[in-house]
Structure 1
């Protein structure tokens, strides 16, 4: 991502993100308090060249939570045409969200991307950092 920004500066680009929703045995959803904005959201991140959305979701969740996951059903695809990063970078975001099942690993957050990880009851979540994650949460509630 940095090499793209070196070429285009803060100009608008399209970014594709993948991630999703992890439930615990009590039916609570896992949220990540993000290091870039200190707000909550679902784990996930940008695709790298050569990755499928499913591969990116697995990689990003591992990096951000320590959990190994298996990709399940598609929850939805969400777009924000006018997103802006805290540093002023502009982009159009396409977020692809999946149901994710934990198959291994241990929950941890020891990097700057993730400040905290916590399971929340689905009807009692904190404010999420972007409208795409809010829309995803509403879709998850509607399919339960």
Structure 2
């Protein structure tokens, strides 16, 4: 078995904090009551959808499935693509800059149990659609709006 490469660390060692493209994938997951799962992120202390960075050799779907599991403890399958969100910029707390590209999927839980790690994930909570908290970045807000509008395969 080969050691997994931490792509972001690898590339940042070469370019420092300069603006680069970073690819992410995440999932929108509903429970049986129709509430939507959000993750309180450790890096921002704010709510967002579970997901994370793609590693070399992964597809966007594989990334979403892996990241949802790592951040929530839930095993999921991808039902469909909500959208691809590409023209967004972020500056991280450590000063790193990126144009972030996010693939958002509607996911279905097929196993696992909710768990937090106290580091990447501070809290996990299902929210009713009409009681949604602010989300930590515009990409998540746009994906949320597209999902509420029942759109599929969006691109922004």
Query: What TM-score comes out, normalization by structure 1 length?
Result: 0.96
For residues 78 and 53 of structure 1, what CA distance do their matches in structure 2 show?
Answer: 13
Asked if 1:19 corresponds to 2:19, the answer is no
Given candidates 48, 53, 77, the residue that maps to 1:46 is 53
Q: 1:94 aligns with which of 96, 101, 106?
A: 101
Q: 1:80: Cα distance to partner?
A: 3.8
Q: What is the distance in 1 between the residues matched to 2:88 and 2:115?
A: 32
- 2:37 aligned partner: 30
Partner of 1:121: 128
Q: What is the aligned counterpart of 1:75 among 74, 79, 82?
A: 82
**Match of residue 137 from structure 2:** 130
Q: Is the 8 A contact 2:88 2:139 kept in 1?
A: no
TM-score, normalised relative to structure 2 = 0.89
Q: Which runs of 5+ in 2 are unaligned?
A: 1-7, 152-156
Unaligned runs of 5+ in 1: none
How far, CA to CA, are the matches of 2:23 and 2:101 in structure 1?
5
> Post-superposition shift, 1:136?
0.7
Instruction: Please provide the CA RMSD for this pair.
Output: 1.1
1 CA distance for matches of 2:31 and 2:41? 20
Does the CA contact (< 8 Å) of 1:33 and 1:41 recur in 2? yes
Give a deviation string over 1:85-139, Cα, whole Å, max 9, x none: 1111000001100110000111110241000000001121111000000001111
Where do 4+ consecutive residues of structure 1 move more than 6 Å? Answer: none
1:3 is aligned to 10
User: Size of the alignment, in residue pairs?
Assistant: 144
Shift of 1:140: 1.1
1:14-59 per-position Cα deviation (integer Å, ceiling 9, x unaligned): 0111011000011000000000010000000110000000000000
